Amino acid sequence: DVKVTQSSRYLVKRTGEKVFLECVQDMDHENMFWYRQDPGLGLRLIYFSYDVKMKEKGDIPEGYSVSREKKERFSLILESASTNQTSMYLCASSYWGLAGGPGELFFGEGSRLTVL
């Protein structure tokens, strides 16, 4: 069974702390994505990666960084957490689609981060 695993389902951190969110996929997918989900706003893309050590900014990269040292692992880093980063974070992975697009995305269960 294909799987995208996010390291933590729930985290509570304090303002200014450094936060690591880890994501691992076992499907040998080229593409990996980090989204955040907020009520009324849907999913917004933070960063994505289409290959090891490659990364591209999404729509809301400010305050975040990412790391992809191995194909199966994509980490999201909040250098100095702030209260407006309280959100649900979703990791996803995909092959390249037939038309050159991302193809079907497989999502992890999500990590709910609360910053106090």
Partner 1 sequence: SQELEQSPQSLIVQEGKNLTINCTSSKTLYGLYWYKQKYGEGLIFLMMLQKGGEEKSHEKITAKLDEKKQQSSLHITASQPSHAGIYLCGADMEYGNKLVFGAGTILRVKS
**Rounded-to-integer distance, Cα 18 and Cα 20, Å:** 7
Nearer of residues 19 and 89 to partner 1, judged by Cβ: 89
Is the separation of the CB atoms in 98 and 51 below 8 Å? Answer: no
Does 40 interact with partner 1 (rule: CB under 8 A)? Answer: yes
Nearer of residues 17 and 95 to partner 1, judged by Cβ: 95
Does 61 interact with partner 1 (rule: CB under 8 A)? Answer: no
Q: For residue 68, which of 83, 55, 79 has the smallest C-alpha distance?
A: 55
Does 110 interact with partner 1 (rule: CB under 8 A)? Answer: yes
Do the bridges between strand 10-13 and strand 111-115 make them parallel or antiparallel, or are there none, so unpaired? parallel
Does 29 interact with partner 1 (rule: CB under 8 A)? Answer: no
Does 34 interact with partner 1 (rule: CB under 8 A)? Answer: no
Interacting residue ranges for partner 1, rule: CB under 8 A: 4, 31, 33, 35, 40-45, 48, 50, 56, 58-59, 88, 90, 92, 94, 96-102, 104-110, 112
